[in-house]
Chains A and B, each alone.
Chain A
Amino acid sequence: MNENDRTLHHPNDVTRKMSEVGEDSALVQALENFRLSVHAWSEAVYSNPRSIGAPASHRRTWKLAVTWALGCVLAAGLAAGGFEERQHRIEMAKIAAQRDAERQRQMAEERAREAEDLLAKVDSDVSREVPNAMEPLAQLMAEDESR
Chain B
Amino acid sequence: MATAEESAAQEFAQVVTNHRMQIFRFLLASTRDVDLAETMTQECFLKAHRNWASFRGESTAMTWLMRIAINLQKDHWRNRRLQFWRQTRTNSVDSDEAGEWLPSGESSPEKQLLAREQVGRVWESVKGLSERQRTVFLLRYVEELEIAEIGRATGLSEGTVKAHLSRALGRVRAELGEKR
Contacts and interface: CB of A to CB of B under 8 A. Distances in A.
B173 A27 contact: yes
A33 interface: yes
Size category of the binding interface on chain A: 35 or more
B131 interface: no
B122 A7 contact: no
Interface stretch (A49-57, A69-77, A98-106, A137-145): A49-57
Interface in A1-46: 2-4, 6-7, 10, 13, 17, 20-21, 24, 26-27, 29-31, 33-46
A34 B169 contact: no
B102 A52 contact: no
Interface in B51-73: 60-62
Interface stretch (B1-9, B15-23, B74-82): B15-23
Given A38-B142, A49-B34, A3 B176 contact: no
Given A27-B172, A30-B121, A41 B101 contact: yes
B30 to A, nearest CB: 10
Nearest to B104: A40
B21 A46 contact: yes
A72 to B, nearest CB: 28
B118 to A, nearest CB: 4
A35 B144 contact: yes
Interface in A48-105: 49, 52-53, 56-57
Contacts of A6: 22, 62, 143-145
B34 A52 contact: yes
B22 A7 contact: yes
Contacts of A57: 35
Contacts of A3: 18-19, 22, 60-62
Q: Is the interface of A mostly helix, strand, loop or mixed?
A: helix
A31 B123 CA distance: 10
Interface in B5-43: 18-19, 21-22, 24-25, 28-29, 34-35, 38
Nearest to B91: A56
Given A31-B122, A31-B141, A40 B38 contact: no
A34 B101 contact: no
Interface string B89-120: 00000000011011100000000000100110
Give the one of A6, A52, A57 with max B CB within 10 A.
Answer: A6
A29 B169 contact: no
B18 A33 contact: no
Contacts of A13: 144
Given A29-B118, A34-B118, A44 B145 contact: no
Given A3-B62, A45-B28, A45-B34, A35 B142 contact: yes
Interface of A: 2-4, 6-7, 10, 13, 17, 20-21, 24, 26-27, 29-31, 33-46, 49, 52-53, 56-57
